[in-house]
Structure 1
Amino acid sequence: MNAYRSKSLSFPWPPLVYSLAVITALYLKQDYPVYLPHPWAIIAWGIGALLTVVAVTLNVWAVKTLLESRTTVLTQRCTAHLVTKGPFRFTRNPTYLGYTLLMAGLGLMIGNVWFVAMAAVAAALTTLLVIRCEEMHLLSRFGCEFEFYCRRTRRWI
């Protein structure tokens, strides 16, 4: 086993990435405001509320599943078990999907369309900075079991 690949992340990137995305969206709204016409704003609020509920539910379900499986929730710690039940049956990264949906949903609810754009940017950065490293860690720890899991479960949705 390659010792370098078996290490988990040394820095908690996801909170930093999503925090910077929120700050950027707030800055962009101030300097480059984008407004939705009234009927679309009401529809956007409803969609945002739905996305927010789905995101919170997904994150709570994912954390509950990880705790029940007796493995870490933190990205900078080594995982004890490969979790493939609960929301992990549908997506390999339910917490990051939840963060992304939450950011987009809150943006639609408060009328800041930049949140939706920055949620996509945060998701892309999370894939590059976090998910690929985590996947290498899981591959080195769980080998073929993780490969089979990757074949039947998508990275995002």
Structure 2
Amino acid sequence: MKSRYLLSMALLASFVFVLLSACTSSPKNHNVYLIPKGYTGWVFIIYHQKNASEIIEQDGTYQYKIGSNGVLKTATEDVRYGITTDDYFYIDEENNRTALDTDELIHSHKVTKAEAQGGLQYPAVESFFVGTEAELSKSTKVVYPQDVKPIND
């Protein structure tokens, strides 16, 4: 009976150790989103795009420069998962940054996973809305841009 108890405790301790190790080994990412000054609307980062640039880490930071249409296409194959710190800035023509209040102006940040439809594989898309809650409520909810092409087509 005592050996069964010790075996159970050893298994439980091993399980807890593995679980805690997995939690602490998650990569930490610092993401900076650079949005054209004055832009309001949905932002889309479309991954796994041919003829686009990779998202590169510089000094521990991944910078996402969003186009004037609210879209960034990148050759990076998938979203970086793990613990993140996200900062959002409006950026002007001279690359001056103005920090955005994330509680007031950034909404519905999510990732739509890559998915298969009819044998075609679609890329992951990261999206969020820039603007006030009132502007968001008037906006059509877009989950996945319609012009995104399959990655195996």
TM over 0.5: no
Question: Comparing both structures, which one devotes a greater share of its residues to strand?
Answer: 2
More helix by share: 1
| TM-score, normalised with respect to structure 2 | 0.28
Higher relative contact order by CA 8 Å / sep ≥ 6: 1 or 2? Answer: 1
